[in-house]
Structure 1
Amino acid sequence: MDFRAAGRKLEGYAAVFGASARIGGFSESIRSGAFASTLQNNPDILALVDHDPTRLLARTASGTLKLAEDTRGLHFELAIPDTQLGRDVLALAERRDLGGMSFGFRVQNDAWPASDQRELLAVNLVEISVVQAFPAYADTSISARSQQVGMTAAQRLRFLETIR
């Protein structure tokens, strides 16, 4: 993944089309165009750290987060805030210590070409997240992990279940 720190901005891909991720007992991939409707109709998508709603970095409503689909996947550009969280994330990105990116969504349309394979055809995107350790989609990973703070794994799971 091309995840770069440029000044006080981060950019890269929160999702890559056609890449497969193991989610529980099945493999999941994302079809090109899966984000098109939500990018057009959702006025406020968040950029978080580790899917934690208390660790906000940017949002589309304020213009600090820009999202677009291209031929590769879901491209993002976010302006890092001058906060302790922002400075920490920027320092980790510059050192290439972040795990990658992820996204929180609700399925709008999917296909199951096999009982253990799901393809996301359309999703309602709620947030993208900088992942400090292990992203579900390996194609977005960038480097080593760092210590995780904020929500516990159980709290993150409950949060993600509420948005799916």
Structure 2
Amino acid sequence: MADSNTISGYVARFGDITNVGGDFRERLAPGCFTRTLREMPDVVMILDHDSGRVLGRVSAGSLQLREDSVGLHFTLYPDPTTPEGQTAIGTVARQDVKGCSFSFSARSESWDDGAGDQLPLRTIEDLDLWECTLTAFPQYETTSAVLARSAARDNAANAMRRIAEKAEAGDFAARKAAAIRRAEMEMKFRGYA
């Protein structure tokens, strides 16, 4: 199902700390999504917590969620023929939207009072996950969302830069490789390859 409009990243990352409204700090414990993904797997991905702007759903196969050692990873296959899909693809491609958030209810948590002038720290150990969202203002700033096409373009640009640096140093083989790679990229981006 993967194509150039696939969006992926992390809805949440374990161990990262965020400030919640100036009232307390919060972090997610590794494994906090395990039970909910097993028991309540039909999660939706929406735009900016708006339930009227659905982008994908686990049961439809348009959203995949998996917990790994980093956090909750997602792969989203938005429909480019819908206004929501077009918005998601466009804003993530430009990186106007590059983060995620999620709605949940805590099942198990622990608290640390904090040392000195630090705010109390809430650690979420188990939760019920209701939805994931693409947003310009994520609660956890270390979340991510990238368009597959953007990632491929960035990788190709980095490879081209390395080849160009060698070509500038007078390496004939590097100049030839750069010319060939440039031609291949042109063909790919114009849809010929």
Same fold per TM (> 0.5)? yes
Distance 1:6 1:98, change over 3 A: farther
Instruction: Tell me whether 1:126 sits opposite 2:130 in the alignment.
Output: yes
Aligned counterparts of 1:99 and 1:48: Cα–Cα separation in 2? 14
- Aligned residue in 2 for 1:103: 102
Distance 1:142 1:70, change over 3 A: closer
- Over 4 Å off, 4+ runs: none
Greater helix share, 1 or 2?
2
The answer as to whether partners of 2:14 and 2:28 remain within 8 angstroms in 1 is yes
The answer as to whether partners of 1:110 and 1:118 remain within 8 angstroms in 2 is yes
- Aligned residue in 2 for 1:138: 141
The answer as to whether partners of 2:92 and 2:98 remain within 8 angstroms in 1 is no
What are the superposed Cα offsets for residues 61-113 of structure 1, whole Å, 9 maximum, x if unpaired?
A: 11111000000000000111121110111011111111410011111100002
- Aligned residue in 1 for 2:156: none
Aligned counterparts of 1:128 and 1:142: Cα–Cα separation in 2? 12
Aligned counterparts of 1:142 and 1:44: Cα–Cα separation in 2? 20
Aligned counterparts of 2:92 and 2:145: Cα–Cα separation in 1? 9
Which of 58, 68, 77 does residue 60 from structure 1 map onto? 58
The answer as to whether partners of 2:109 and 2:126 remain within 8 angstroms in 1 is yes
- Aligned residue in 2 for 1:22: 19
Greater strand share, 1 or 2?
1
C-alpha RMSD of the superposition: 1.8
Aligned length in residues? 138
The answer as to whether partners of 1:16 and 1:140 remain within 8 angstroms in 2 is yes
- Aligned residue in 2 for 1:72: 70
* Secondary structure in structure 1 of the residue aligned to 2:138: coil
Aligned counterparts of 1:76 and 1:58: Cα–Cα separation in 2? 11
Identity in percent = 36
TM-score by length of 2: 0.68
- Aligned residue in 2 for 1:37: 35
Gaps of 5+ in 2: 115-119, 147-193
TM-score by length of 1: 0.79
Counterpart residue type for residue 15 of structure 1: A
Higher-Rg structure is: 2
Aligned counterparts of 2:74 and 2:12: Cα–Cα separation in 1? 9
